[in-house]
Amino acid sequence: MWQENDEEVLVVQEGGERLDVFVAANAEGITRSFVQNLIKKGGVTVDGAPRKANYRLRSGQVVRFSLPEPEVTELVPEDIPLDIVYEDADIIVVNKPAGMVVHPAPGNLSGTLVNALLFHVRDLAGIGGELRPGIVHRIDKDTSGLLVVAKNDAAMRSLSEQIQSRTAGREYLALVDGVIRQDEGTVHAPIARHPKDRKKMAVVPGGRDATTHYRVLSRFPATASGASGSGNTLVLCRLETGRTHQIRVHMAHIGHPVTGDGVYGAAKNKLGFSGQALHAFRLHLNHPRTGEPMRFCAPLPEGFQAALKRLNGGALPPLEL
């Protein structure tokens, strides 16, 4: 499945399944009865034509439908501590911990970064959208690091334009499984929803263009203390595009999934920390009001540092950033 013009797109791999059963099995968070109602309203098409719920699909057919935005009646400010790296009248830069969801979604309607920001920043609720006030970019729940949030509409427009034009951007530190032999490389591979598992993204022909550049900072062979059976590598990643799960998908695609990533890599983390070893450590942008170039850095979380020390004989490896 992938998204195209706000529609979910599914390609049938094996024929014979009912339309309603197929959609319910491949769309996250919706029931079969919901799908049946959607079909009755003409909201599901097969090869461009509406079909009944009991329609039997054939291999190769394309199913399209749109899912409604999650209904949230009210966003509640919550007194959640924030690691604020910088703040002025226009922007706030936050170092998000691993485990925190950025904005409310089904199953995560509280305890998010947005809930915390609403408590900290007055009048943020009207900026940029009801469910994602001030949010111009995201990082995954189990990824830590820097985000910039707009505090007014002018800042929102400026930051959104900078992200689109790549004037603003982030660099990530990632510990990955296996030892990467080349010193640097580029992964250019299209990303879309996994054709069989909607919770995952994948490299899919015809997906959205995606490019990740990486550079090796340190290698930890399998003989290193605490290293997994195939060793580990610390890399610096720079994105040209901002697709969902991009670094995680691309590194797994070249055979080096992010350490601790139970979705795209090994189910068990052998280095003893929670979450995945992926950290948005550097952020650059131009101030939306003054145009001044700004650069921010966030230190590695303690668990990430502890894993590196374990791999490097008790000391942090030198980082040539």
Report, as residue numbers or ranges, the catalytic residues. Answer: 140
Buried/exposed 147-175: b ≥16 CB within 10 Å, e otherwise:
bbbbbbeebbebbbebbeeeebbbbbbbb
List the structure tokens of 152.
């007014």
Buried/exposed 50-87: b ≥16 CB within 10 Å, e otherwise:
ebebebebeeebebbbebeeeeeeebebeebebeebee
The label of the residue with tokens 């894993």 reads 307
**DSSP per residue over 232-275, as a string?**
EEEEEEEESS--TTHHHHHHHHTT-PBTT-TTTS-SS-TTS-SS
Q: Measured on CA atoms in the order 161, 167, 168, 170, is the torsion positive or negative?
A: positive
CA–CA distance, 318 with 214 (Å, rounded to integer)? 17
CA–CA distance, 77 with 156 (Å, rounded to integer)? 20
